[in-house]
Amino acid sequence: MPNHSNANLSQRDAAVIWHPFTQHQIEPISIPITHGKGVYLYDAEGKKYIDAISSWWVNIHGHGHPYLAQKIYEQALKLEQVIFAGFTHEPAIQLSERLLGHLPDNFQKVFFSDNGSTAVEVGIKMALQFFHNQGQTQKRKIIAFEDAYHGDTFGAMSLGSPSAFNAPFQDMLFEVEFLPSPCDADACIAAMREKMNHADEYAAFIFEPLIQGAGGMKMYAPETLDALISMAHENQILCIADEIMTGFGRTGKWFAIDYLTHKPDIACFSKGLTGGMMAMGITTCSNELFDTFLSDDRKKTLFHSHSFTANPMACAAALASMDLMEQSETWENIARIEASHRAWKLTQEGHSVIQHIRIQGTIIAFELAVGESNGYMHSIRDRAYQYFIKKGVLMRPLGNTLYILAPYCISNEELSLIYSEIENFVAELVG
């Protein structure tokens, strides 16, 4: 009989696989997961783990959802893949129609890609070529936030301020200018106002709306973003919303841009788009932007494609996920999770270690004040990760920043278990 123990599978994995964001010299071998159901993941020996981070923020409806699986299965029997240049199919058309129906009215076109990083890259290419096609070739620079994270491809890396993520490639990245953290609204707005003295150099302003994810789950006010977008638009700079993490209910509304008065020109989606079932990216824009690519000159075409662009099974997964998003039960769960977070926050007010608790919709984050400066490389990260794994909770701290970003199906009892383990870990720290 084959040996499917944790140890055996982990050893086989270590012999042949290079994992993402993993320093294999010092990090423990990977845990083999055999299946998932609802909020739980199960390893090869039957231990279960609460997926408190939705497996990198993608599984908004939980694991193994039968409705999503059935719709993917049905689509696989009809059309599993077709080239999307010169051909189309109903799942892609229907998904585009339905997604645009939930977005602000200025979004009228959908461009498909395969993941979040490339959805962002498409948005940047749209913005740069928008001006290039009109002969405004001087508009080449991009504005972004400090501590931004938009992905790991070269273009997406360029949009993040210098960090351990992109240090080996820094001199190869294109020119981006960074605003101070939007958490310091006055400094950020003042910096943007200063850049507007040279507005003709900038093509686009890109941002994670309301929450900077990998940069430390930093949350900021929609009024700050409204002010920045307004200045950009007054100076003919396109605005790009990276909704990869924040989309599809995470912030308490369909999209984080729903909190804004001033809407972006381009928006990027992935992760929760398909309920975490299939890889897919989408970039949306206006007809006005699309029309600048229409020409008898083929050189004005947006030359971007993926082999699996608008994969029919991924479209089916996204449509099924939208079916679930449009149910009242989903929004009741979102409100319930936020209420649970707020109730726990009240119990931690004034805590000496659990500090700066912040909540936006289903997302709660805070810092552990344990004697070092804040940041992604904080040594507490590994200790915290291992503690929670042993307790059957998947947490993936950002340095000393801990957060919960769970599937919407998580129960109050499961949330309480996570809160309790956080409290137990902190008690062990200060012990």
141-155 per-position pLDDT tens digit: 999 999 999 999 999
Angle, CA of 103, 359 and 424, to the nearest 5°: 140
pLDDT at 217 over 60: yes
Mean pLDDT over 51-64 rounds to 98
Mean pLDDT over 397-409 rounds to 97
What gap in Å lies between CA 78 and CA 422, rounded to an integer? 47
| 184 backbone dihedrals φ, ψ, rounded to 5° | -100, 80
CA distances from 49 to 14, 159, 328, 329, 350 (A): 21, 34, 28, 24, 30
Q: Which residue has the higher pLDDT, 177 or 29?
A: 177
Considering the four listed CATH numbers 3.40.710.10, 3.90.1150.10, 3.30.460.80, 3.40.50.720, the one that applies to the domain covering 6-64+328-430 is 3.90.1150.10
Q: Which residues pair with 178 in a beta bridge?
A: 144
Question: What's the pLDDT score for residue 393?
Answer: 98
What gap in Å lies between CA 47 and CA 52, rounded to an integer? 15
Domain spans, the chain: 6-64+328-430, 68-325
Mean pLDDT over 349-358 rounds to 96
Burial 416-426 (b: 16+ CB within 10 A, else e): ebbbebbbebb
The pLDDT confidence band at residue 207, using thresholds 50, 70 and 90, is very high
pLDDT, tens only, 59-99: 999 999 999 999 999 999 999 999 999 999 999 999 999 99
CATH architecture assigned to 68-325: 3-Layer(aba) Sandwich (3.40)
Mean pLDDT over 190-207 rounds to 98
Q: Which residues pair with 249 in a beta bridge?
A: none
- The token pair at 242 is 């990276």
Question: What's the pLDDT score for residue 375?
Answer: 67
CB 51 within 8 Å of CB 40? yes
Question: What's the pLDDT score for residue 363?
Answer: 98
Walk across the sheet containing 363-368 and list its strands: 354-360, 363-368, 401-404
Residue ranges of E strands in 294-430: 354-360, 363-368, 393-394, 401-404
The pLDDT confidence band at residue 139, using thresholds 50, 70 and 90, is very high
- The token pair at 316 is 């089916």
CA distances from 334 to 145, 221, 362 (A): 28, 20, 6
Angle, CA of 358, 163 and 353, to the nearest 5°: 35
The pLDDT confidence band at residue 397, using thresholds 50, 70 and 90, is very high
Question: Quick one: what percent of the chain has pLDDT higher than 70?
Answer: 98
pLDDT at 381 over 70: yes
pLDDT at 336 over 70: yes
CA distances from 250 to 244, 341, 403 (A): 10, 13, 13
Among 245-254, 284-293, 377-386, whose mean pLDDT is lowest?
Answer: 377-386
Least Cα distance to 374 among 356, 352, 386 occurs for 356
The pLDDT confidence band at residue 371, using thresholds 50, 70 and 90, is confident
What gap in Å lies between CA 357 and CA 219, rounded to an integer? 10
pLDDT at 1 over 70: no
| 35 backbone dihedrals φ, ψ, rounded to 5° | -165, 165
What gap in Å lies between CA 406 and CA 362, rounded to an integer? 8
- The token pair at 273 is 């788009």
CB 112 within 8 Å of CB 282? yes
| 401 backbone dihedrals φ, ψ, rounded to 5° | -95, 120
Tokens 């070529």 sit on residue: 129
pLDDT at 395 over 80: yes
pLDDT at 162 over 90: no
Average pLDDT of the chain to the nearest whole number: 95
Question: What's the pLDDT score for residue 329?
Answer: 98
CB 195 within 8 Å of CB 177? yes
